[in-house]
Structure 1
């Protein structure tokens, strides 16, 4: 049993390195307290992996993974757009926290990771391990492996959060969610595409969104300068 736990920890930990789950953990760590994020990840991981070992060891059934993946992709894209939209405003004003950021943090993290992990490669790896090994050991090891991998991303998010202003954190979170949502959609639509290709395609959406936000900001600044110049000219004229 100990050997199975160690095997599951190693396989899942390596599978999670660089995965979208780590990006999500980093993103949430920028918005919420680390123990809330870690608790949500742990609960979601334990729930998904108990389901996956049941599928692999007891049922031999399959979930509607494609439908779940599409729903997750749309959800992440919506959250990204929502976050960015609520952060567009006066640069000199402190941005109002988004409704997403002020929702019950634990349940936000829990639901996001449940959606992301259902049908993910880690779930399939866990189900495969459970077919020939002790299901309880696989469940425990896979949960530990994923939590440890995501804890590294949470630590990175904490370090970044200490050196970034609130507005930069908000925009970064929004763009990361757009990337995660697009990557999920690309992997679902074209599972035969390689990881590099999928990442390249997924990067275009946050890049376009970032360019659009930069254009809107530049336009707003120009309009404000024009208004200020007109007001200044009017005041000078009234003085003479």
Structure 2
């Protein structure tokens, strides 16, 4: 349960103001069909985060818990710093205007936009640290949906009411604390 709850919380906070959240807003404005957009976000997230979590688990098995503790601790601290840098939506992240349905365009755009994104990197780290992996993937997927589905349905009104700098600050603090605790070997982790 801890893996699920931590994964959900971290990704929900990390996703606030993230480029994929901006992408959700743009897709909602462009297509005006929320259900296929939400379904596309869900499918893309499950696929992307399952791969990311599996990479994290594989890396953990390949390098061992002692090295991994340092890699994860430093990674979480780096994520804290990264959270304080605002995201921008690149033109490359946008789906083409024609040739694809709303669901396919959203799935494709979200899958690609998540590559190397904060939440994907966090999922790799969480997949390395927590078992079972399915709890991490379900948690990170739920976190993405909690952050992005409301944006699809309520759009600009919601994003104007949420103090993104405060959310990023809280997320950065959480990542920093997790990094320090991981480096110290405190709490439930793979180092036992």
Q: TM-score range with shorter-chain normalisation? A: 0.5 to 0.7
Q: TM-score, normalised by structure 2?
A: 0.61
CA distance in 2 between partners of 1:76 and 1:144 (Å): 22
RMSD: 2.5
CA distance in 2 between partners of 1:74 and 1:30 (Å): 16
**Contact map agreement 1:49 1:123 (CA 8 A) in 2:** yes
**Contact map agreement 2:38 2:149 (CA 8 A) in 1:** yes
Report SS of the residue matched to 1:119: coil
TM alignment of 1:1-240, pairs within 5 A? 2-32=1-31, 33-59=33-59, 73=90, 75-76=92-93, 100=97, 103-134=100-131, 135-157=133-155
Deviations 1:35-93 (A, max 9, x none): 000000000000000000110002469xxxxxxxxxx946247x6xxxxxxxxxxxxxx
Structure (1 or 2) with the larger CA radius of gyration: 1
Q: Which structure 1 segments of 5+ residues have no match?
A: 62-71, 80-98, 161-240
Query: Could you say which structure has the greater relative contact order, defined with CA pairs below 8 angstroms and 6 or more residues apart?
Result: 2
CA distance in 2 between partners of 1:127 and 1:102 (Å): 33
Q: Which structure 2 segments of 5+ residues have no match?
A: 63-88, 159-192
CA distance in 1 between partners of 2:41 and 2:56 (Å): 22
Q: Give the 4+ runs in structure 1 shifted more than 6 A.
A: none
**Contact map agreement 2:93 2:113 (CA 8 A) in 1:** no
